[in-house]
Amino acid sequence: MKIKSIKAYHVVQPFVDGPYRMSKGRVADCFDAVIVAITSDNGVTGWGEMAPLGNFYSAAFPSGTRAGVPEIAPHLIGHDPRGLAGIGRLMDTVFKGHPYIKAALDMACWDLAARAADVPLVTMLGGRESETAELYRVVTHGTVDQMAALAKRIVAEGYRRLQVKVGGNVRDDIERVTAVASAVPKGTVIFCDANAGWTPYQARQFADATRGIDYTFEQPCTTIEENMSVRRMLDKPMVLDESVTSLQEMLEIHRRGAADGLTLKISRLGGVTQTRLIRDVAVDLGFMITVEDTGGAEIDTAAMAHFSLSTPEERRLHAIAFHEWVTVRTASNKPPVTGSRMGIPDGAGLGIDVVPDLLGKPFFEIG
């Protein structure tokens, strides 16, 4: 089997609930996605997707992906898409760095390989550990009243896990989180995610003032060293997200005891290949794991769902349904969501049926 053709599409995906707000004025109106289709010489097509959350969240930006995919794709023509490690090495050889650009291409090869083998992607990722995964919802940055009202609405819809955005003015965030915790039932799982927005001084202020609230602290500061300085005085679990950019960084986090859990972003790590490697090693090292991404619709959410269900339940934190965030559709089916839990679509590979007519005209095509 050889790669015969590659197409790439640019799809803007506006948010259903309007702008997505984080601390320090960071805001996005949409996911700006690149979707890739890789077709083999026997007619099987695999799909991949990546979508940065604005230009501020991750070391990735939409125009960079659109410029980079045409640089890499021609080198893949004629290679066996099932040689996944080799595809990864080839991309790293012809295009140094910028793992986010390679993520959709890598994902499409995994989807194609699984479809060719007539197995769901979850099987290739290690096997299905459960039927569904618990979802969380995000309480985006806003006023105290706005955040408390949003938290109450989310819980009323049946969700039991909240990620509350912090990382702004410390005193204001203390008030916001206190209000959110008071607005939801006891036992609601709360993650306070600063998205690396604080100095250690600010993070320790927040942690000290909120000792009476049950929550998990997520990525308060930028570097592993800064987060470690907060963790030394912390009496709560800590999850790192932005700090996990490679296998080496994950191993450093483990060596230093800097976190109890990790959030792995597929595009940040360069695709399914590296995400699976890091996930499996992290599970063996005892971390709690969330596998998700920086954004996307049905394609990327399906990949996240397959990863979630192939992560051992005792090591899995939660999942997120990005396809429910956006107003556009890219497939005729989607990862099924029932209440606050998500499964995977039936079928080989990602299990979804992408509709090319929904994607518009490709901005790049070869083969």
Identified catalytic residue from 4, 7, 102, 265: 265
User: CA angle, corner 26, sides to 68 and 52, nearest 5?
Assistant: 25
Q: From the candidates 4, 102, 165, 334, which is the catalytic residue?
A: 165
Q: Tell me if residue 186 is catalytic.
A: no
Q: Is residue 336 within 8 Å of 342, Cβ to Cβ?
A: yes
CA–CA dist 316, 309 (Å, integer): 9
> How far is Cα 154 from Cα 177, in angstroms, rounded to an integer?
15
Q: Which of 263, 354, 259, 240 has its CA nearest to residue 302?
A: 354
Distance CA 117, CA 111 (A): 10
C-alpha span between 19 and 42 (Å, rounded): 43
First-to-last alpha carbon distance for the chain, in angstroms, is: 15
Of the candidates 304, 256, 243, 240, the residue with the CA atom closest to the CA atom of residue 276: 304
Q: What phi, psi does 307 have (nearest 5°)?
A: -65, -45
For this structure, is 165 an active site residue? yes
Strand order in the sheet with 337-338: 133-134, 341-342, 337-338
- In contact, 319 and 308? CB cutoff 8 Å: yes
User: What are 35's two structure tokens?
Assistant: 């979707």
Residue among 96, 71, 74, 94 at smallest CA distance from 3: 74
CA 39 centroid distance within chain: 25
Task: Using the structure block, give the residue that is written with the tokens 């960084």.
Answer: 249
- For the chain, state the CA radius of gyration: 20
Tokens standing for residue 26: 């960071």
Token couple for 267: 């595009």
Q: How far is it, in rounded angstroms, from Cα 71 to Cα 101? A: 10
Residues with a known catalytic role: 165, 265
